Amino acid sequence: MLIVPKPVKHEPRPGTFVLDRETSLAADPALSAVAAWLRGELAPVTGGELPPAGSGGIRLTLGDLPPEAYRLTVGRTVEIVAGGPAGAFYGAQTFRQLLPPAAFRRAGGGPFEVPGAYVEDAPRFGWRGCLLDVARHFMTKADVLRFIDLIALHKLNVLHLHLTDDQGWRIEIRRHPRLTEVGAWRKESQTGWNGAMDGRPHGGYYTQEDIKEIVAYAAARHVMVVPEIDLPGHTQAAIAAYPELGNLDTPLEVRTTWGIGQNVLNVEDGTVKFFQDVLDEVLELFPSPYIVLGGDECRKDQWRASPAAQRRIAELGLRDEEELQSWFMRQFDVYLAARERRLVGWDEILEGGLAPGAVVASWRGELGAVAAARAGHDVVNCSNTSVYFDYRQGPGEDEPVPFGTVLTLEDVYAFEPVPAELRGEPAAERVLGAQCGVWTELIDSSRRVDYMAFPRLAAFAETVWCPPERDLPDFHARLAGHLPRLDAIGVEYRRADGPLPWQTRPGVPGRPEDPERWQAQLDAWTSNLRSP
């Protein structure tokens, strides 16, 4: 059974199911939305309408199971018993993977025969996520919707949408229109990590109606969209639109280069209020209980030089700029908690003391995950050394994005969301799950997103869905059956033998690998961790 991610239990059963234009599809009322989605996926390839009544068909029913669990039985008919709509959806995705790859095309090809089978399945983790960075390189709404379909096919249930950064602001805020009038556009972009400028304007943003559509589309596929509004660092696009948010007297442009910038928000009351205004509108658009506010890579040089920031430190009795950032983040933690939402921040929010209810997204290895979980905070493991898909997939010079350490398909498959230091401890229960990251400084189109994300995302999906045991040969065998499905969908993934000719981009400079420097930075960060 060539299913990705691998079901917990599966076995052959007698009989064969035939999917054709006469097939019916019925569901309990609580599962009618899942049935409508499945009908929409199957009808184009069968040439029929899959009516709700008939003798040889598919049936979705509720059973006494956890919400995301399901049982799938295939014989002369198909029965999916699920604990809730999410479980029914995952059962339906598994059924689709039992069909030939041609069933993933948008027209023709049937009828299709499915051998008898029985599957019992449920996910290991509740947070099975993927970050998509649309701030560095904008992706159209249509591309985002397609990406949602792809992660839902792999049973991921969180899309972390990175909407703002130094290089672009991608969400309409009606109270502050210059965020998109100015902040959504940059005059050019840097090629490679340290390369020349390309001389081409770049930009775009999502209207609030676009966001509503994205959120609804994702919800129909049981994907929660979690927005990220970065602060107090990674905010040059916002400062370019509203200079009063910054620390300098000179105006700024939306940033055109990559890396960590010096320009950060000031800590005035007006700036806090400005971003609370922003969040007022964000919360209306995103029902997610989690809101990501960044908190990462905030350089403090401008605060050290700012009389206003130094006054704030003195007034509040803080020790230094690290505690000033902690104070700043707490303003938003309190704001979100009052609205029954939870702040999520990158692991830098551990520095200077952590807001009590915050969730830590641990990205600099796993030290942040261990420290946060032991301190009683929920954790999402996003370790850059294991699940950052902007890192190159092979050592060859023909890799289109020669950035970071080599992170192969096998490396991703070996990832374990619960850090070794936590296994066997009660703190391990604080690990909500994990998410992979598609950061797009050097990924400038949806075609390159395909190449960088797949098939590594299939390997990642196994790490968050399946039990911790790994069987690499078995995964490779199932992946061989899964790749033709991606071909049918039109995913331009990386082949095992390397990039195709169009996918290469020689001569683009990347950041050289420097393990000693990286370890020194990590050691310094660890030594500066402070208790909440």
Residues recognised as catalytic: 165, 234, 297
Give the C-alpha separation, 412 to 462, whole Å: 10
Peptide bond into 532 cis (omega under 30): no
Question: Do the Cβ atoms of 151 and 457 come closer than 8 Å?
Answer: yes
Give the C-alpha separation, 458 to 5, whole Å: 7
Question: Do the Cβ atoms of 491 and 456 come closer than 8 Å?
Answer: no
Question: Do the Cβ atoms of 208 and 281 come closer than 8 Å?
Answer: yes
Peptide bond into 5 cis (omega under 30): yes
Q: Are strands 168-169 and 164-165 parallel, antiparallel or unpaired?
A: antiparallel
Question: Do the Cβ atoms of 473 and 16 come closer than 8 Å?
Answer: no
Q: Concatenated DSSP letters for 280-301?
A: HHHHHH---SEEEEE--S---H
> Cβ neighbours of residue 208 under 8 Å, at least 6 residues apart?
171, 172, 174, 281, 285
Peptide bond into 100 cis (omega under 30): no
Question: Do the Cβ atoms of 388 and 408 come closer than 8 Å?
Answer: no
Among 330, 345, 472, which residue's Cα sits nearest to residue 414?
A: 472
What sign results for the dihedral spanned by CA atoms 184, 224, 8, 362?
A: positive
Among 266, 271, 273, which residue's Cα sits nearest to residue 306?
A: 266
CB atoms within 10 A of CB 496: 12
End-to-end CA distance of the chain: 48
Number of H helices, E strands in the chain: 17, 18
Question: Do the Cβ atoms of 42 and 19 come closer than 8 Å?
Answer: yes
What is the enclosing helix (H) or strand (E) of 304? Answer: helix 301-305
Among 419, 385, 370, which residue's Cα sits nearest to residue 529?
A: 370
Q: Concatenated DSSP letters for 214-253?
A: HHHHHHHTT-EEEEEEEESSS-HHHHHH-GGGSS-SS--P
Vertex 142: Cα angle to 449 and 85 (nearest 5): 95
Q: Are strands 70-74 and 342-346 parallel, antiparallel or unpaired?
A: unpaired
